[in-house]
């Protein structure tokens, strides 16, 4: 038996060979070899997320003050560029959803190529159109990386450690933001800074792809290992039926209901988070709350806080997905409040504290989406991740556009208050469809039917594994 997405839901593994990730191409490898490979791939995946997200995607916001000062002709399109990048990310994630569960290695290669090309484009951009195009290309990288890494990590990591490994990989965004902050200190101009980040994107993509380039089990391990089917049209929108005949990477009919609630909540959360990602440095440096030359410390604080996101798997196991999501959205609202307080009072400590809390909350929130996708569509986790991350990016595109258009009219404090309200609303949205009258009851010992397990385990409370399920 295995814990699905770290939520306490138990599903049978198809066979020891599949659950152990010892399909063709890995035969003969023992537990120690598998553990070593799992650690290596998890770390490489974290670094790929660090560069494709923390640098190529969110680096535009980090370097916005430097771009505006060094290349004034680009200042007017920074908000539009960010919105276009979120849109391109959604396009890549939608495309990846049709590919990565079958050929995740292709997704890793595409992530490296597009992120590298985008960073080179930003390094060379002197014209607004060129900047927007470069940012659009760079935004594709993250859209390919996340869905591809989900099945890869699930295939090479032991089932009981999969949720934690996914959270560690997801925390790579925080590592990348810290790295981008360090680059901003070391490189005094745009060209060397973005050239350095382009090289990092290429190297990390190679590091993630190389260890798994010859594995033949990546496309099938997740679907077979998690019991095959995605969620079907049952009374419980979080229930998963076990149908051994269905091992396709396509979601089952009716499975869209399982991602409707987290998808809607992700759109609202994305809109609320867009203010900090796109305009955070400008909001805090323009009134002098934080000196422009210290903007890198803002993102270092955000990234350092984001490392807490690696513990999201544990949080989900202990509290359930919905409670973990609400915790993250409330923390995002508090972070926006810190930004507002810093602008209103001129207190730099509030800015740094707010950014640190934002980093922890956002990394945790996105990790919850990954775990939610793995539970909702167990046979198509990469596609499920794409759907929810597209929803998040759609909200960010809308938020970037809206805040960019209304920033001068609203002012920074009011904008931050609106962002906080959106984050709270995102938490409330995740509670839609919850059944408060249901109670969790442990699965009877010896039962391995996933229909029984899903019917007795609440999605917002954990159950204790039975002896038969915990002995592996």
> How crowded is the C-beta side of 421, counted as CA atoms within 13 Å?
6
DSSP assigned state of 50: I
- Say what percent of the chain tops pLDDT 70: 75
Report d(CA 180, CA 359) in Å as an integer.
14
Look at residue 437 and tell me if it is in a domain: no
Look at residue 134 and tell me if it is in a domain: yes
Q: Which domain holds residue 112?
A: 2-20+32-218+226-235+243-432
For the chain, what is the largest distance between any 2 Cα atoms, rounded to a whole number of angstroms? 68
Coil, strand or helix at 2 = strand
Report d(CA 292, CA 312) in Å as an integer.
33
Look at residue 302 and tell me if it is in a domain: yes
Report d(CA 145, CA 150) in Å as an integer.
9
Predicted confidence band of residue 426 (pLDDT cuts 50, 70, 90): very high
User: Which structure tokens are listed for 101?
Assistant: 């569960």
Lowest mean pLDDT among 90-94, 225-229, 282-286: 225-229
Report d(CA 15, CA 22) in Å as an integer.
10
Provide φ and ψ at 100, rounded to 5°: -65, -30
Count of domains for the chain: 1
pLDDT for the residue numbered 344: 92
Report d(CA 237, CA 259) in Å as an integer.
9
Look at residue 415 and tell me if it is in a domain: yes
| Statement: the pTM of the whole predicted model exceeds 0.75 | no
Rg (CA), the chain: 21
Maximum average pLDDT range among 93-107, 132-146, 147-161, 252-266: 132-146
CA distances from 356 to 85, 303, 332 (A): 24, 7, 10
> Residues 63-78: what's their mean pLDDT?
84
pLDDT at residue 26 greater than cutoff 50 = no
Residues, the chain:
472
Report d(CA 413, CA 407) in Å as an integer.
10
More confident residue, 238 or 311: 311
Q: What is the mean pLDDT of the chain?
A: 76
CA distances from 421 to 202, 327, 391, 396 (A): 38, 14, 18, 15
Predicted confidence band of residue 464 (pLDDT cuts 50, 70, 90): very low
Element (H, E) at 11: strand 9-11
pLDDT at residue 220 greater than cutoff 70 = no
Report d(CA 342, CA 244) in Å as an integer.
56
Which residue from 384, 451, 385, 434 is spatially nearest to 240, judged by alpha carbons? 451
> Residues 120-138: what's their mean pLDDT?
93
Domain CATH number, residue 273: 1.20.1250.20
pLDDT at residue 239 greater than cutoff 50 = no
Coil, strand or helix at 135 = helix
Look at residue 263 and tell me if it is in a domain: yes
Report d(CA 299, CA 23) in Å as an integer.
42
How many other C-beta atoms can be found within 10 angstroms of the C-beta atom of residue 214? 10
Lowest mean pLDDT among 329-333, 367-371, 435-439: 435-439
Give me the sign of the Cα torsion angle 411, 334, 402, 54.
positive
Instruction: Describe the crossing of helices 256-285 and 321-345 by its angle, rounded to 10 degrees.
Output: 20
Look at residue 454 and tell me if it is in a domain: no
In tens, the pLDDT along 161-206 reads 887 788 788 788 889 988 988 898 888 889 999 999 999 999 999 9
How many other C-beta atoms can be found within 10 angstroms of the C-beta atom of residue 155? 25
Report d(CA 155, CA 178) in Å as an integer.
29
More confident residue, 296 or 244: 296
pLDDT at residue 19 greater than cutoff 50 = no
DSSP 195-263: HHHHHHHHHHHHHHHGGGTT-SSHHHHHHHHTTS----S-SSTT-----TT---SSPPTTTHHHHHHHH
Residues 6+ apart with CB under 8 A from 461: 8, 319, 320, 440
- Say what percent of the chain tops pLDDT 90: 32
User: Which structure tokens are listed for 343?
Assistant: 């602008």
Report d(CA 416, CA 336) in Å as an integer.
5
Look at residue 468 and tell me if it is in a domain: no
pLDDT for the residue numbered 259: 84
DSSP assigned state of 9: E
Report d(CA 10, CA 308) in Å as an integer.
26
How big, in percent rounded to 5, are the helix, strand and coil portions of the chain?
A: 75, 0, 25
Look at residue 464 and tell me if it is in a domain: no
């Amino acid at each position: 038996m295995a814990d699905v997405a770290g939520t306490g839901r138990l599903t049978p593994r198809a066979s020891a060979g599949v659950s152990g990730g010892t399909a063709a191409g890995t035969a003969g490898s023992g537990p120690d070899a598998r553990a070593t490979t799992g650690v290596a791939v998890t770390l490489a995946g974290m670094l790929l997320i660090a560069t494709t997200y923390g640098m190529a995607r969110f680096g535009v916001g980090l370097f916005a003050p430097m771009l505006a000062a060094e290349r004034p002709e680009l200042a007017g399109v920074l908000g539009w560029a960010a919105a276009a990048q979120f849109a391109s990310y959604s396009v890549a994630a939608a495309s990846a959803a049709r590919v990565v569960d079958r050929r995740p290695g292709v997704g890793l290669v595409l992530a490296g190529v597009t992120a590298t090309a985008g960073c080179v484009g930003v390094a060379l951009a002197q014209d607004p159109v060129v900047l927007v195009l470069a940012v659009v290309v760079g935004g594709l990288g993250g859209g390919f990386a996340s869905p591809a890494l989900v099945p890869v990590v699930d295939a090479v990591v032991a089932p009981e450690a999969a949720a934690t490994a996914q959270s560690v990989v997801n925390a790579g965004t925080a590592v990348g933001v810290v790295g981008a902050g360090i680059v901003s200190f070391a490189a005094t101009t745009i060209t060397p800074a973005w050239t350095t980040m382009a090289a990092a994107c290429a190297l990390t993509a190679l590091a993630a792809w190389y260890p798994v380039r010859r594995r033949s089990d990546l496309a099938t391990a997740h679907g077979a290992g998690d019991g095959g089917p995605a969620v079907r049209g049952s009374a419980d929108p979080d229930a998963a039926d076990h149908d051994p005949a269905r091992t396709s990477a396509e979601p089952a009919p009716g499975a869209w209901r399982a991602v409707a609630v987290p998808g809607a909540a992700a759109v609202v959360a994305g809109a609320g988070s867009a203010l900090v990602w796109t305009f955070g440095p400008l909001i805090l440096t323009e009134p002098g709350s934080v000196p422009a030359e210290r903007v890198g410390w803002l993102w270092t604080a955000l990234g350092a806080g984001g490392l807490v996101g690696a513990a999201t798997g544990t949080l989900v196991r202990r509290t359930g997905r919905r409670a973990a999501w609400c915790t993250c959205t409330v923390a995002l609202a508090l972070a926006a409040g810190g930004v507002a307080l810093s602008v209103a009072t001129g207190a730099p400590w509030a800015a740094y504290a707010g950014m640190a809390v934002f980093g922890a909350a956002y990394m945790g929130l996105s990790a919850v989406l990954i775990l939610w996708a793995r539970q909702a569509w167990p046979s198509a986790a990469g596609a499920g991740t794409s759907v929810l991350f597209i929803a998040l990016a759609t909200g960010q595109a809308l938020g970037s556009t809206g805040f960019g258009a209304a920033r001068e009219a609203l002012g920074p404090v009011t904008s931050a208050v609106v962002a906080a309200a959106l984050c709270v609303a995102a938490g409330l949205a995740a509670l839609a469809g919850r059944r408060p009258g249901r109670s969790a009851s442990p699965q009877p010992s010896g039962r391995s039917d996933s229909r029984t397990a899903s019917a007795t385990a609440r999605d917002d409370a954990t159950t204790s594994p039975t002896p038969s399920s915990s002995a592996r």
